[in-house]
């Protein structure tokens, strides 16, 4: 008997058992685990070219479609106040020490240029080599290398990949939206 084959008609849909599963997006905890493991990779960290005057970065493959970066921080440099739009993420220090200042506040989605902040919103933490932290959506912070003479290196991961970064200036309790950057501005 000749072998026969059955070709499904165009109206036939595959059964759920044949549909490949959709991978779940990474969690903030998984991004933190990735950042810590990557920060512990001495060969990778040592491969980052360091500039004495400005930050350097290399894009990495993050887990589950996330965006990841290896970043070098010359002494005395920082990010300035910024958020990550609707992305959550994590970062870990691989070398040196970084300081994070953050605000425990959820900013309005849009339609504002200046906000007066209430008292008691400021948070600060130091992250030495091996330390990391995860953060949720709408996280507003600045990250600094306060060392006068030592480079720092860190690993950052975001999900979904950053759609934009909003940059702010801060004078006392007044926070002002200064600039909106899109991926083409930093990639």
Check: CB of residue 171 under 8 Å from CB of residue 45: no
- As given in the structure block, the two tokens for residue 149 are 């003479």
Closest CA to 136 of 99, 106, 93: 106
- As given in the structure block, the two tokens for residue 180 are 């909106």
DSSP conformational letter for 75: T
Q: What is the pLDDT of residue 22?
A: 64
Residue that has been written with the tokens 């083409």 in this structure: 184
Strand partners, 156: 69, 91
Per-residue pLDDT of the chain (187 residues; tens, 9 = 90+): 444 444 444 444 455 556 566 678 999 999 999 999 999 999 999 999 999 999 999 999 999 999 999 999 999 999 999 999 889 999 999 999 999 999 998 888 778 899 999 999 999 999 999 999 999 998 999 999 999 999 999 999 999 999 999 999 999 999 999 999 998 887 6
Helix or strand run (H / E) with residue 134: strand 132-135
- The Cβ of residue 156 has, within 10 Å, a number of other Cβ atoms equal to 25
Distance between CA atoms of residues 143 and 81, nearest Å:
8
């Amino acid at each position: 008997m000749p072998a026969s084959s059955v070709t499904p008609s165009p109206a036939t849909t595959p059964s759920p058992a044949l549909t490949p599963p959709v991978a779940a997006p990474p969690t903030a905890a998984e991004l933190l685990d990735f950042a810590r493991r990557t920060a512990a990779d001495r060969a990778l960290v040592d491969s980052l070219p360091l500039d004495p005057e400005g930050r350097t970065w290399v894009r990495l493959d993050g887990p589950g479609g996330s965006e990841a970066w290896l970043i070098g921080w010359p002494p005395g440099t920082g990010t300035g106040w910024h958020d990550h739009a609707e992305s959550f993420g994590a970062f870990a220090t691989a070398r040196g020490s970084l300081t994070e200042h953050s605000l425990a506040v959820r900013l309005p989605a849009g339609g504002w240029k200046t906000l007066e902040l209430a008292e008691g919103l400021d948070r600060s933490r130091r992250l030495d080599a091996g330390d990391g932290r995860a953060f949720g959506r709408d996280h507003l912070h600045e990250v600094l290398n306060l060392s006068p003479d030592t480079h720092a290196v860190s690993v950052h991961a975001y999900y979904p990949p950053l759609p934009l970064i909003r940059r702010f200036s801060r004078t006392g309790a007044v926070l002002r939206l200064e600039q909106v950057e899109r991926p083409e501005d930093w990639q």
